[in-house]
Amino acid sequence: MTSLLALAVCTGPASAHAKLESMTPADGSSMAAPPTQVVLTFSEPVAGNGTRVQVKSPSGKNVATGDVQVLDKKVTQPVGAMVEAGRYQVDARVVSADGHPITVAGSFTVTHAGHPPDQPAGTPPTADQRTSNTVTIVAMFLVMLVVVALAVVIVRRRPASQ
């Protein structure tokens, strides 16, 4: 009986599962420049297998790109272009070290939209984009020449006032 009592006293409470300690960008935060990744930090190590992170744009598109990286207590999810200003929802499912699944959610707001992934900020236009712009300018110039030519023909054909 004494050993049973000693066993009951020594076991103490069951160990808790991993809990989300922080999210970067912070839950509820607002920022002008879109982040390039979302980092979730947990109270204890989490497993890499079964870990999923979604970052949904205001229109519901998942902007998470690439593979999620798990290192000890940190889960890092790269994100692609955030071309919409507004609230982004983060939904994650991780597996704690003891094997229990954990789901977490948070959100942050981007006040200024980013650039599409094919042309980051400061990137010069591609050859195709320059060619497209050149064709548009040449076409507009030709249309203006035709309009001016028609105006000259119309003015010259009018009978002179007597």
What is the domain-level CATH number for residue 96? 2.60.40.1220
> What's the whole-number mean pLDDT along residues 150-157?
87
Number of domains the chain is built from: 2
Residue with structure tokens 């390039």? 36
* pLDDT reported for residue 113: 76
The full DSSP string for 62-115 is: B-B-S--EEETTEEEEEB----S-EEEEEEEEEEETTS-EEEEEEEEEESS---
> What's the whole-number mean pLDDT along residues 51-80?
94
**Is 134 or 88 the better-scoring residue by pLDDT?**
88
Q: Are residues 60 and 21 in the same domain?
A: yes
* Owning domain of residue 129: 125-157
Percent of residues in the chain assigned helix, strand, coil, to nearest 5: 25, 35, 40
Bond preceding residue 25 cis, omega within 30 of 0: yes
Residue 70 in this model has a pLDDT that exceeds 90: yes
For the question of whether the overall pTM of this predicted structure is more than 0.85, the answer is no
Q: What are phi and psi of 20, to 5 degrees?
A: -70, 125
